[in-house]
Amino acid sequence: MSRGVKKKAVTAKSPGRPRSDEAHQRILEAAYELMSQIGFNELTMEAIAARAEVGKPTIYRRWSSKAHLVMDAFLAAVNPELTFPDSGSITESIRLQMQQLVKVLLSPPGQIIAVLIGGGQTDAELIEAFRENWLIPRRKAASEVFKKGVECGELRADVNVEVAIDALYSPLFYRLLLKHAPLTQDFVDELVDIVMKGLAV
């Protein structure tokens, strides 16, 4: 479950005092709350330690960097997956799911997503962790839906699914990150209209 955690093979019983689950939880919560309030750059390990009422070494024993910690805190807070509603058509199902995604991106977790992608540009481990733990599972789900669409004859069979997913979803992240235009439901509608027209049989 934990990413960026240093050691602690979960194998069996080890001697010594066990790590405190309570402290672990308090750290994650403190990190998430401070992250939401003051952002990644202004976020300090000292502030997290103080708010969690924990020593700094207790944090460093578990996470090797601020990025890894924030990553874990984010994943612990956004566990419930987005689902593809079972509507009449695949296109409408995707449209509804993308509208849900936009809501998430506009909420505090969305800001954290932006910050994690941002931080990942100078931290290869971070962007990989985000990719593997958040992005790819969601892309897999979208991929399933696409294949269903192909099977039931609604979508073209000669299209690379990965490219199709990129075409649909990347504009959401693009606006999240660049902020050159607002992320609205209308935007999703227009986008789905254009891209799904290109993907339809």
Residue 5 CB, shortest distance to its own copies, in Å, is: 22
Residue 178 CB, shortest distance to its own copies, in Å, is: 6
Residue 140 binding target from DNA, its own copies, none, CB below 5 to 8 Å by type: none
Helix (H, G, I), strand (E, B) or coil at 5: strand
| Residue 56 in tokens | 């700094």
- Shorter beta-carbon distance to DNA: residue 58 or 100: 58
Contact status: 179 vs DNA (CB under 7 A): no
Alpha helices (H) in 107-181, listed in sequence order = 108-120, 124-130, 136-151, 161-178
- Shorter beta-carbon distance to DNA: residue 65 or 100: 65
Residue 72 binding target from DNA, its own copies, none, CB below 5 to 8 Å by type: none
What mask, x for binding DNA by CB under 7 A, covers residues 34 to 53? ----------xxxx-----x
Number of H helices, E strands in the chain: 10, 0
The amino acid at 157: A
Residue 191 CB, shortest distance to DNA, in Å, is: 38
Contact status: 16 vs DNA (CB under 7 A): yes
Q: What angle do CA 135, 163, 124 make, to 5 degrees?
A: 40
CB 127 within 8 A of CB 76: no
Contact status: 65 vs DNA (CB under 7 A): yes
- Shorter beta-carbon distance to DNA: residue 53 or 189: 53
Among 127, 129, 142, 150, interactor with its own copies by CB under 8 A: 127
Number of shown-chain residues binding its own copies (CB under 8 A): 48
Region near DNA per CB under 7 A, out of 57-65, 71-79, 91-99, 143-151: 57-65
Residue 84 binding target from its own copies, DNA, none, CB below 5 to 8 Å by type: none
Contact status: 197 vs DNA (CB under 7 A): no
Angle between helices 21-38 and 45-52 (to 10 degrees): 130
Alpha-carbon torsion, ordered 138, 144, 145, 149, to 10 deg? 150
How many angstroms separate the CA atoms of 171 and 157, rounded?
23
How many angstroms separate the CA atoms of 59 and 43, rounded?
14
